[in-house]
Structure 1
Amino acid sequence: MPARLLSFIFLWTTLQLRAQQITYTLYIRDVQGPLAGATVRIFDQQQTAPISGGITDTDGRIALKVPADRARSAEIRMLGYRTEWLTLNPQTTTYHITLREETYSLPNVVITASKAQQRIEETTVSLTVIRPNLVENKNPTDIQQTMNQVPGVNVNDGQANIRSGSGWSYGAGTRVLLLLDNLPLISPDANQVQWTIVPFESLDQMEIIKGASSALYGSSALNGVINVRTRSDYHKRTWVNLFAGGHPIAPRPELRWWTGLQSLGGLQMSLQNKIDDSTNPNRWFGYLISALGQWDEGYQWRSPDNRGRLFFKTHFNRSRHLHYGLNGNISYRRSASPLIWNGEDQALIALDSSITTNAGFTYHIDPWLTFHQFRSTGVLRHEINARLLAIDNQSRDDSTVFDNASQSYLLQYQTQWLSHSGWKITTGLFGLWAVSNSELFVGRHTSRNLAAYIQTDYRLRRFNLSAGTRYEHFLLDNRSQARPVFRFGANYQAAPYTHLFASWGQGFRFPSMAEAFTRTNVGTVNIFPNPRLNPEYGNTYELGLKQLLSAGQHLKMQLEFALYRMDFDDMIEFTFSRWDTTGGFAQIQRQLGFKSVNIGPVRIQGFELTATGLYSHSHHQIQFLAGYAYSDPHVRFPDQPFILNDITGQPLKYSDLSTDDSTGTLKYRYRHLLKTDLQYTHTRLGYRAGISIRFNDYMRNLDRVFYQVIPGVQSVHQRLNRGDLLIDLRIGYRWPSGAMANLIIDNLLNREVMIRPAFLGPPMRILLQYQVTLE
């Protein structure tokens, strides 16, 4: 009897232990807040099949009741984030887990729209984000090539163009402001975007605002902003990229002037690390160093492009209040380029063999400091940024010297109040001083730009409201201009994943030194100064929809649709006429040329649809970026004189100077832009493949003078009247160690493209790429 009783007690106790339940509560979030929809599964010791599971609610919370003796670990998974594993302990039933984004994930946090972190679906403007994988997969030799893959954006021979807001202006002046880590990166003299010194091997993400942003960022943001943000997580990481290849053939046999392969290649690297203070978790030092060395023989005759660059970034975290650091970049480039071709059948050879050579250094030094004041009602952030940018360039052709040296000195103080009740108030003072000494500008010139700005953002239930103003004063030599600009935006959450937005913003752009003072001739092209140029001024209106879509845990997609209109007054364009009478008609060839003038009011309107998505199922992943933009850019009054030539007395009309004299279409613009990029990855086997497609319609309007005086422009322009279709292909393999090899073919169909008058874009390019990432 005692033996039977003992056996019964033992069996009863075992069954009770097995039947005992325990409830584990998990709170899942990312760096911005709770994550709804994360999948949590609990496993036993063998991890063969889950014993329980579920999805987090809107607060990122999930509670799961499981047998106490079987639950050993939990898997937390969400599309776009790294999968986390958690060891369960019956003594601890509540866990807080922060998920980190995958490198291939969809972007969800941006800074550029409001100068503070903000979810992309809550912004009040059209905004596209490019992640590093697009850059690393396509191996661009500078960031312009990546920008040409962005929906609604076109870079034309160095001139950035968002939704047809800009054309081609010989590299003088930009209506799109390029920022590197939130500070302007344009040349002090010509206001040119400095594409080649952008350290894209250190890229965290690129944020592109489409529309006037002068209220936050000042002059040159008339048409939009491109903010290149470098990595700042400082997790230990080493990345090395080797590439080599070249241009094997030309689009037509008669264009090929070389034999064999016009080669290119180079090395990129990036190294970052974080050093912690073992005695104080709030004290640490982070650093990032990246470098590029590249040679390119070029597809244009006698036009190589060789460059080197070194970028560094430091972060001293002295306490939870105080952060400071020093960033910097130095670049050397030696290149050559033609301005005008030698005819239709020698389009890759310069007219009269006239090549402009360039060699020089560009560098910038950026000290910064941030101080946080933590209060019971919010956080007050003080930030001081400075940038010294210097360019020393030696440039010349067979007959003319274009040497120039310029420097700019930037200082900005900004405060930001982040209230726990939903208020976000940003104020700032901004100063930019520049000096240039160049034979192009006939001597030394100086400029000064001073500004004060404020922007308020407020979240009220389903609304995100934003309003701001900036007052700017600009002095070029002894001529000054000043005016305020304003912006307002609203975002309304109509449904859990549906946001409606509307925005209005004013923009302006002061003329650059190059537009006001350049007097030179490049080959047979004469350029005349116009120191009486007026600033450009305009308004941008937007109405749109941001939609998040998902199909279970497999598909996650962001859609954005926008209707837009841009009205500009006093738009500046290079205009051909007789701008000098010295010497009479005997010197007519030296009297004809281009000069920057204000052409009057213009209107650009259209719509854009952009889709970004990630599909993941089992070991298959497909990431895509696609978009279509339609623009109708035109001069308001093409048949009315917009200027009276002060030399000849001749009234100039836009229609008289255009190849398309019937519609008033602005020059060097496309109406239709279609962009698509697809990337497939098999995560277990390591195979990868991708394709990029870009289509633009016929550039219907050019300066008429190019038809009349440069051989081949009219015939090529009219022959290529169906638009341009460019396809890039890539295939590769990633080893489990993190190494990756790719074969990349750009312009697979070897299409002939005239990107601006008398200049052809690159033919087919083949590259072999080998990457190693160590983390």
Structure 2
Amino acid sequence: MGPVSSQTAFIEGVVKDASSGNTLPGVNVFDQNKKGTTTDGNGYYKLELQPGEHIITFSFIGYKTHEKRVSLQEKEQLTQNVQLFLEAELLDVVVVSAGKFEQSLSDITVSMEVIKPKLIQDRNTTTLESMLQVTPGVTIIDNEPQIRSGSGFSFGAGSRVQILIDDLPILSGDAGRPTWSYLPIENLEQMEIIKGASSVLYGSSALSGVINLRTAYPRETPRTEVTLFTGRYSDPSIEESVWWNESNSLIGGLSFLHSRKIQSLDLVVSGNYFGDQGYIGPEIIDPADSSFYPEHISRNGFENRGRISVSLRKNFEKTPGLKIGLNTNFYKSKSTATLLWLNADTGLYRPSPGSLTFTDQDAYHIDPFIEYYSNNGGKHALRSRLYSLDNLNTNNQSNFSDVWYSEYQYTQHFDSLSIPDLVSTFGTVYEDVNAESDLFAGNDGDAGKNNATKLAFYLQLDKKFFDKLSISLGVRNENFEINGLNESATIFRSGLNYKLAEASFLRASFGQGFRFPSIGEKFIKTNVSSLFIYPNTDLRSEKSWNLELGLKQGFKLGQLKGFADLALFQQEFERFIEFTFGQWGPISDPGLGLGFRSLNTGDARVTGLELSIVGFQKINDMELNLMLGYTYTKPISLTPNELYTENEDPFWPDPNYLNTSSDTAGHILKYRMQHAIRGDIGLDYKKFHLGISGRYNSNMANIDRIFEDLDTQGILETGLTQWRKDNNKGDAIFDLRGGFKLNENTKLSLIITNLLNRAYAMRPLAIEAPRLFTIQFKSTIK
């Protein structure tokens, strides 16, 4: 410790979380004259003050503010260690994704949902998309995420929603597609979902929003969890579609987690195994047809997968504020997937011949990182990720990609520099993708081999005025190159949040977005069954802007506390990318050159409103949690007559919205559902818990017209046209869960998904699972 001035004194100490014992970096520490500092990476603070009486305030987002009265003498060096307690109010939930630094949920300028791990565990969530299906504003169509109708269905190429693990992207490098079962959910701190254009902070693919999984680090007490489960599918409600003869298909699996501190080292190890015999039956084919794969044709729509994750973080006591770490995830799966059902009655749960793909998948990521918290409120963070994905597929669909991603970020809190409540966030990003596949034969320069790079810079400023008004401003420049083709974009965002009254917050935001085409969209050339997909090397990036006005209102009804959030939004797209049917190859090609291709389809607009309610109630031994939401969207084409491009043969009409859509009323975009209701209610009472989830999606009015034309003309008879006529009222799906604690550390639960056993399709020609009964056993050792 350095010399002490004869006219001053010092107060120093360490600030910790009262429940976990973890040190808290970034806590604001100041006296009644607003002279202050912030804690470093080890929770340590040191404040120089004049001798006399002082009221020292310790303030940190998500924690109750703590005040301590002290009396300092000249030359005194006083040690005061402090414990902060978490706030119980839902509005004080701490989030990171909105600004890449910790903020209170009530202060952010965008719409966000926060999902806690308890709900994910209680539902026996084996892949994250099943949890997202009950989240307000989110829809998953055949593994592709939609947020507020910002995207449709793109046959697995290109996502307008960025998926992150700990702020780093985890979409595949070639197609920009998530692998939901790859995501490690055993050690989840919380899941944050941003709704609306988020490209300033997260770049291309965040055109409609972001889904960020934040993993947890160990508490002071070691923790071990083991979960075992097994389940059985019911017979489908349509009796003639039952394909199994002897016994119903089963699922089963286990997951584990071990989390502990070893002196200054944080260690987390988790893993998962899952087996599913599948509810989709084998193909019905002619055994003499040698074009199929005999080792796979007798298999059901099965899935077997395993995953293990290891996270390490080292804190350096001799260098306060310095942390280094390594996060890893390794994954192996074998599964089948089907693009088209056989027909809409006896073949509803069977694949059309040639549409079943067998996949042997290997994936891993390795994330080294280093962080340094300075004494003046600054934080340096350098994070990198190697994400490797290798898919060995039948039907000539195999593909491989490596994504090298690096991001340097500097965050400065200016409180210690006498500028209170100002935070700046600067970052630079570099990404390099190498992808190889026979799928990408559209790249004539080096058939099957592709490279894409990104270089970006971003800056965001967040300032709070008078403890009421929060303002956010941001800018990003990103340069993108794919196989020598270059594009760049500079975009801006702004937002404000004003505290109207106690627990009343008015917000407004404007954000621009962009998305560069994926390698798959530009260069893919393949077919599945009788559907052909063609490349488009001239495909250009799409752009958008998003405007939102929202009101968040806290409430207290007896012992029930929570908030209601109402949002009005509009997003407009330019050069909107959609998969479109037409004649893209010469007539000598199989199928006469007809097929699908990614095209810039003109301009589009999505307007709508969303109401969500989150509540919590605790009375003695009873605890109630609820999440409800309604979303209405009006997604329309603004250029329905615009010709997208020219067909190869003048016999076929050049495509536009009007001649490629099955229903042009109101110019509604394809593969959207305008009304969506989501809800979950969970009740814990002493040793018992009970919960129910529900989701309603209105009818999907518009799809690709070609699917109905092929069906009615007998070229590809799927029964789709009649199915859509018979199932045009939308779908309401409910899940039920319940269980009890055998003792303090073990719990037994029963989960029923698709409680009413509805036969429904989120995406035409792909039936969803029938009712599933699952028994779950969970044990926790502390």
If the TM-score is normalised by the length of the shorter chain, which range does it land in?
A: 0.7 to 0.9
- 1:255-274 deviation per Cα after TM superposition (whole angstroms, max 9, x unaligned): 11013221001000111001
Deviation, 1:234, is 3.7
Instruction: State yes or no: 1:355 paired with 2:342.
Output: no
SS state of the match for residue 723, structure 2? helix
Contact (CA 8 Å) 1:566, 1:605: kept in 2 or not? yes
The unaligned stretches of length 5 or more in structure 1 are 1-26, 35-58, 62-79, 83-93, 277-283
Q: 2:225 aligns with which of 234, 239, 242?
A: 239
User: Which structure 2 residues correspond to residues 113-132 of structure 1 after superposition, within 5 A?
Assistant: 113-132=98-117
Residue 451 of structure 2 is matched in structure 1 by: 446
Residue 390 of structure 1 is matched in structure 2 by: 388
CA distance in 2: counterparts of 1:360 and 1:728, whole angstroms: 30
Instruction: State yes or no: 1:417 paired with 2:420.
Output: no
CA distance in 2: counterparts of 1:643 and 1:566, whole angstroms: 25
Cα distance 1:699–1:558, how it changes in 2: closer, same or farther (>3 A)?
same
Cα distance 1:105–1:135, how it changes in 2: closer, same or farther (>3 A)?
farther
User: Which structure 2 residues correspond to residues 356-375 of structure 1 after superposition, within 5 A?
Assistant: 356-375=357-376
- 1:38-57 deviation per Cα after TM superposition (whole angstroms, max 9, x unaligned): xxxxxxxxxxxxxxxxxxxx
CA distance in 2: counterparts of 1:588 and 1:660, whole angstroms: 28
Residue 660 of structure 1 is matched in structure 2 by: 663
Deviation, 1:641, is 2.6
User: Mean alpha-carbon deviation: is it higher for 703-712 or for 228-237?
Assistant: 228-237
Query: Identity, % of aligned pairs?
Result: 35
CA distance in 2: counterparts of 1:755 and 1:373, whole angstroms: 50
- 1:632-671 deviation per Cα after TM superposition (whole angstroms, max 9, x unaligned): 0010122343333355484322011111122211111110
Contact (CA 8 Å) 2:94, 2:105: kept in 1 or not? yes
Q: 1:595 aligns with which of 597, 604, 608?
A: 597
CA distance in 1: counterparts of 2:390 and 2:640, whole angstroms: 41
Cα distance 1:737–1:336, how it changes in 2: closer, same or farther (>3 A)?
same
- 1:324-376 deviation per Cα after TM superposition (whole angstroms, max 9, x unaligned): 1001001001001111111111111111264210002100000000011112x
Deviation, 1:168, is 0.8
Residue 271 of structure 2 is matched in structure 1 by: 291
Residue 197 of structure 1 is matched in structure 2 by: 182
Instruction: State yes or no: 1:273 paired with 2:260.
Output: yes
Instruction: State yes or no: 1:401 paired with 2:406.
Output: no
SS state of the match for residue 655, structure 2? strand
Contact (CA 8 Å) 2:578, 2:601: kept in 1 or not? yes
User: Mean alpha-carbon deviation: is it higher for 360-369 or for 249-258?
Assistant: 249-258
Cα distance 1:485–1:29, how it changes in 2: closer, same or farther (>3 A)?
farther
- 1:3-31 deviation per Cα after TM superposition (whole angstroms, max 9, x unaligned): xxxxxxxxxxxxxxxxxxxxxxxx99997
User: Which structure 2 residues correspond to residues 596-611 of structure 1 after superposition, within 5 A?
Assistant: 596-611=598-613
Cα distance 1:106–1:197, how it changes in 2: closer, same or farther (>3 A)?
farther
Cα distance 1:609–1:289, how it changes in 2: closer, same or farther (>3 A)?
same
User: Which structure 2 residues correspond to residues 292-307 of structure 1 after superposition, within 5 A?
Assistant: 292-301=272-281, 302-307=300-305
Deviation, 1:98, is 2.4
- 1:519-549 deviation per Cα after TM superposition (whole angstroms, max 9, x unaligned): 1110110000001101010000000011122
CA distance in 2: counterparts of 1:366 and 1:107, whole angstroms: 30
Q: Which amino acid aligns with 1:257?
A: W
Q: Which amino acid aligns with 2:120?
A: V
Q: 1:168 aligns with which of 153, 160, 164?
A: 153
Residue 617 of structure 2 is matched in structure 1 by: 615
Instruction: State yes or no: 1:457 paired with 2:462.
Output: yes
User: Which structure 2 residues correspond to residues 25-424 of structure 1 after superposition, within 5 A?
Assistant: 97-100=83-86, 108-235=93-220, 236-258=222-244, 259-276=246-263, 284-301=264-281, 302-319=300-317, 320-345=320-345, 346-352=347-353, 354-375=355-376, 379-396=377-394, 400-420=395-415, 421-424=420-423
Q: Which amino acid aligns with 1:187?
A: S
CA distance in 2: counterparts of 1:299 and 1:234, whole angstroms: 41
Q: Which amino acid aligns with 2:626?
A: F
Q: 2:684 aligns with which of 681, 684, 694?
A: 681
Residue 476 of structure 1 is matched in structure 2 by: 482
Residue 45 of structure 1 is matched in structure 2 by: none
Deviation, 1:96, is 5.8
Q: Please identify the structure whose Cα radius of gyration is greater.
A: 1
- 1:113-149 deviation per Cα after TM superposition (whole angstroms, max 9, x unaligned): 0000000010000000000011101012200101111
CA distance in 1: counterparts of 2:17 and 2:487, whole angstroms: 53
Residue 40 of structure 1 is matched in structure 2 by: none
Q: Which amino acid aligns with 2:228?
A: L
Contact (CA 8 Å) 2:91, 2:104: kept in 1 or not? no
Q: Which amino acid aligns with 1:618?
A: N
Cα distance 1:152–1:107, how it changes in 2: closer, same or farther (>3 A)?
farther
CA distance in 2: counterparts of 1:101 and 1:291, whole angstroms: 31
Instruction: State yes or no: 1:672 paired with 2:675.
Output: yes
CA distance in 1: counterparts of 2:720 and 2:654, whole angstroms: 26
Cα distance 1:97–1:551, how it changes in 2: closer, same or farther (>3 A)?
farther
CA distance in 2: counterparts of 1:640 and 1:481, whole angstroms: 24
Cα distance 1:110–1:703, how it changes in 2: closer, same or farther (>3 A)?
same
Instruction: State yes or no: 1:579 paired with 2:584.
Output: yes
CA distance in 1: counterparts of 2:142 and 2:92, whole angstroms: 29
Using structure 1 for the length normalisation, give the TM-score: 0.85
Q: Which amino acid aligns with 2:259?
A: Q
Cα distance 1:176–1:354, how it changes in 2: closer, same or farther (>3 A)?
closer
Residue 426 of structure 2 is matched in structure 1 by: 427
Instruction: State yes or no: 1:548 paired with 2:554.
Output: yes
SS state of the match for residue 762, structure 2? strand
Q: Which amino acid aligns with 1:317?
A: N
Q: Which amino acid aligns with 2:324?
A: Y
CA distance in 2: counterparts of 1:465 and 1:658, whole angstroms: 42
- 1:369-395 deviation per Cα after TM superposition (whole angstroms, max 9, x unaligned): 0011112xxx11110000001111100
Instruction: State yes or no: 1:717 paired with 2:728.
Output: no
Q: Which amino acid aligns with 1:254?
A: E
Contact (CA 8 Å) 1:322, 1:372: kept in 2 or not? yes
Using structure 2 for the length normalisation, give the TM-score: 0.84
Root-mean-square deviation over aligned CA pairs: 2.4
Cα distance 1:335–1:28, how it changes in 2: closer, same or farther (>3 A)?
closer
Contact (CA 8 Å) 1:655, 1:662: kept in 2 or not? no
Deviation, 1:581, is 2.0
Deviation, 1:745, is 0.4
Contact (CA 8 Å) 2:265, 2:313: kept in 1 or not? yes
Contact (CA 8 Å) 2:91, 2:554: kept in 1 or not? no
CA distance in 2: counterparts of 1:723 and 1:769, whole angstroms: 31
SS state of the match for residue 122, structure 2? helix
Q: Which amino acid aligns with 1:393?
A: N
- 1:168-200 deviation per Cα after TM superposition (whole angstroms, max 9, x unaligned): 111100000000011000000001012121111
Deviation, 1:97, is 4.8
- 1:79-113 deviation per Cα after TM superposition (whole angstroms, max 9, x unaligned): x999xxxxxxxxxxx996522478x9787100000
The unaligned stretches of length 5 or more in structure 2 are 1-15, 29-54, 65-79, 282-299, 442-447, 711-715
Cα distance 1:221–1:647, how it changes in 2: closer, same or farther (>3 A)?
farther
CA distance in 1: counterparts of 2:590 and 2:741, whole angstroms: 63
CA distance in 2: counterparts of 1:538 and 1:344, whole angstroms: 38
Contact (CA 8 Å) 1:384, 1:412: kept in 2 or not? yes
CA distance in 2: counterparts of 1:60 and 1:208, whole angstroms: 36
Contact (CA 8 Å) 1:412, 1:431: kept in 2 or not? yes
